[in-house]
Amino acid sequence: MIKGITILGATGSIGVSTLDVVARHPDRFKVVALTANRNVKGILEQIQQVNPTYAVMKDPQAAATLRENLADIGSKTVVLEGVEGLCQVAALDEVDYLMAAIVGAAGLLPTMAGVKAGKRILLANKEALVMSGALFMDAVKASGAELLPIDSEHNAIFQCLPATHAVGLEASGVARILLTGSGGPFRATPIQDLSQVTPEQACAHPNWSMGRKISVDSATMMNKGLEYIEACWLFNASTDQVEVVVHPQSVVHSMVEYIDGSVIAQLGHPDMRTPIAYGLGWPDRIESGVPLLDLVKHGQLNFEAPDETRFPCLRLAREAMQSGDTASVILNAANEVAVDAFLSGQIPFTRIAGVIEDTLSQVSLMKPTDLDVVIGSDEQARCHAKQLLGK
């Protein structure tokens, strides 16, 4: 039976890789809906390739432009817009799988719409779970949705855990989760030079091809901090059951250590098509287009502890998870504001962590009883972070 798919964030790197994998299996998958923010040119090309029933542009003006372009070529794809349109295509009856690949807090509501509709959620938007935590996981249980992590690290952990891990890590014989990260482009840069790095340098990841925001997060290791929080929620792990390990080669995507001393790791090329194919095909394995790994060619694999003096964002993320309540919401919101300011040349790279820490210390925590509280805390944190930047 052919599975219908909605791709949230279709023009980003994850969306493009998803379409590449889907195209290899026309007998298994059909794209029902594609979504983007403002990239009309990119989504128009994709629509012509896969002919989806729906396309959604979050930006209304972009939606109007896309409608005109589709009318000119005689396309029957229906164009929707705004958050309402995103949520609508996430929950369509004809959709079985939802690829949640919108970057940042913007992905929360449409991803949750897919969860509540009981879809298979291929979660590549870590911020949705970072922000909503228990609310997200409770909604998955209540709706019967399937939640499969697509971030390479969490997908690796999922593959390395026993099938019984849902009952608890300790009960399944798991000692700890080892979450690997490359250390980004500035792992060996002298700390005194970090204040002078440019957005272009921060976005030049040595191993992965990613969007600008997530590339900066990798450079600060906030990306790993967000993944640390996500791992705690995904795998019902305590904060001391997850440990971050720097692995510059990005071949070992993460590991699980067991109480008998065994360590099981998932290895592969740094190519997101591998975890995407795993999520699409699970419990089967399907061809992804990624070449087989030649370990002899790679030679050495190195591991080291992260330097939290160099990467204070990693510490801030761990402390936010330990604090609970809406601390992770505030952390994520302040980070998005600070990264945007860095990319636009308003602040130096080293100011990103300071904006986050100041916001965390000054915005009050709340009990995240529902999504309205989460969204309200997010807005308050963004407002405060912008005030710190003089916006």
Alpha helices, DSSP H, located in the chain: 13-23, 40-50, 60-73, 82-90, 108-116, 126-143, 152-160, 199-202, 212-220, 222-234, 273-281, 295-298, 312-323, 327-343, 351-362, 371-388
Residue 34 phi, psi dihedral angles, 5° rounding: -120, 145
pLDDT tier at 309, thresholds 50, 70, 90: very high
**Dihedral, CA of residue 21, residue 54, residue 214 and residue 24, to nearest 10:** 0
**Model confidence at 304: pLDDT above 90:** yes
Average pLDDT (21-35) is 98
The answer to whether the CB of 132 falls within 8 A of the CB of 371 is: yes
The per-residue pLDDT for 213 is 92
pLDDT in tens, 150-202: 999 999 999 999 988 888 899 999 999 999 999 999 999 999 999 999 999 99
pLDDT in tens, 78-132: 999 999 999 999 999 999 999 999 988 899 999 999 999 999 999 999 889 999 9
Per-chain mean pLDDT for the chain: 96
So what's the architecture of 157-271+298-388 in CATH?
A: Orthogonal Bundle (1.10)
**Model confidence at 204: pLDDT above 90:** no
- Considering only the top CATH level, what class is 3-149? alpha beta
Which one, of 103, 185, 118, 108, lies nearest residue 151 by Cα?
A: 103
The per-residue pLDDT for 206 is 78
User: And the tokens for 44?
Assistant: 């128009």
Model confidence, pTM: 0.94
CATH 1.10.1740.10, the chain: domain bounds: 157-271+298-388
pLDDT in tens, 133-151: 999 999 999 999 999 999 9
Radius of gyration of the chain (CA): 20
H/E run at residue 25: none
116-153: b (≥16 Cβ within 10 Å) or e: bbebbbbbbbbbbbbbbbebbbebbeebebbbbbbbbb
Angstrom distance (rounded) from CA 92 to CA 227: 29
3-state SS string for 241-298 = CEEEEECCCCCEEEEEEECCCCEEEEECCCCCHHHHHHHHHCCCCCCCCCCCCCHHHH
Angstrom distance (rounded) from CA 111 to CA 186: 32
* Omega of the bond leading into 306 within 30 degrees of 0 (cis): no
pLDDT in tens, 205-257: 877 777 899 999 999 999 999 999 999 999 999 999 999 999 999 999 999 99
Strands 252-258 vs 263-267: parallel, antiparallel or unpaired: antiparallel
CATH 3.40.50.720, the chain: domain bounds: 3-149
| Residues whose CB falls within 8 Å of the CB of residue 306, separated by 6 or more in sequence, listed in order | 181, 183, 221, 224, 244, 245, 246, 314
User: And the tokens for 289?
Assistant: 């287009």
pLDDT in tens, 167-177: 889 999 999 99
